Amino acid sequence: MLKTILAARETLLLVAVLLLLLLVSSRFPAFIEIDNLVKVLTDTSPLIILALGQMLVIVTRCIDLSVAANLALTGMVVAMLNTAAPELPIVFTLLIAVSLGAVLGAINGLLVWRLAIPSIVVTLGTMTIFRGTIFLISDGQWINAHEMSEHFSQFPRGSVAGMPVLAWIAVLVTITAWIFIARTPTGRAFFAVGSNPHASVYTGIDVGRTQCIAFIISGALAGLTGYLWVARYAVAYVDIASGFELEVVAACVIGGIAIAGGQGSVVGVLLGAIFLGVVKNALPVVNISPFWQLAISGAAILIAVAFNSRSSQSRGRLILKEAEQST
């Protein structure tokens, strides 16, 4: 069991993250103080949550480009709700955010399942539709901190055992995702569908339905993040988290999720997201411009993809290189 958890790719990623931390801390020791690490984790939490949802979608051979737009739309809706009914308990806000996100995800899922439209086309479409809807319902207006009620914007920041609620939620989602994938029939089905859709049909698994479920989960997590995001930054407008979907996909790819489907692990995605989070937080500290950050993320993606395709190509061949050298 331990062997499978620490499969080579994840270990390598862990080493990369640790190296990065070491490198930064050699010049700025404060970076690896507990407080700062918690801050980095909290900062990375939305990415972690979304990437875990995206992982399920990619594993079933689809892609969800609408997550960031879903996040923004749900965020706007709960923010407007909050201005209309400031006393609404947080539980309801959370419930509404998750359900609305799930419904938006279900739209993607149903289009992919029932009409058999490729997911990249569907989610490119819904992505613009969701953004457009925000504009329609908000008239392009911003909702700012002072318009939000105290408990609404304070909830993700509240500290439990020294860590903000936002980070705890990411931890919770990660653990749930891990159990879900490792130990439930539906979790298994995602991998079966992605790795051999034909054989899955013969096994009695409904491929389209399974993909739809993945979209619903991804959507629900995007909705959840929508509220957390709006509350944390205490602002909602049309363009929040714009382009964030690419970062989410990047975290998955760096984490070793095969774009061709059927392969990937929660630990990998977690590390992929954390890697990007550390880069993002470390660069300003070491005084490198944010443009470099993009370049570094990009390079990390290419390296990860090259590494993935190389390792999946043929393990036999990789061994041969050693054998050839030794002779």
What is the binding site for another protein (CB under 8 A)?
4, 179, 182-185, 188, 191-192, 195-196, 198-206, 262-263, 314-317, 319-320, 323-324, 327
User: From the CB of 176, what's the least distance to another protein, in Å?
Assistant: 12
Handedness of CA 134, 140, 141, 143 (dihedral sign): positive
Strand partners, 163: 160
Which is closer to another protein, CB of 146 or CB of 315?
315
Number of CB atoms found within 10 A of residue 262's CB? 18
Task: For residue 59, give every residue at least 6 positions away whose Cβ sits within 8 Å of its Cβ, in sequence order, or none.
Answer: 190, 191, 194, 214, 257, 261, 262, 263, 264
Place of tokens 């490792």: 182
User: From the CB of 216, what's the least distance to another protein, in Å?
Assistant: 17
User: From the CB of 95, what's the least distance to another protein, in Å?
Assistant: 22
Which is closer to another protein, CB of 263 or CB of 297?
263
Q: For 320, what's the count of Cα atoms within 13 Å in the CB-facing half-sphere?
A: 4
Which is closer to another protein, CB of 27 or CB of 209?
209
Which is closer to another protein, CB of 157 or CB of 188?
188
- Beta carbons of 221 and 104 less than 8 angstroms apart: no
Which is closer to another protein, CB of 125 or CB of 208?
208
User: From the CB of 206, what's the least distance to another protein, in Å?
Assistant: 7
Strands of the chain, DSSP E: 159-160, 163-164
User: From the CB of 304, what's the least distance to another protein, in Å?
Assistant: 19
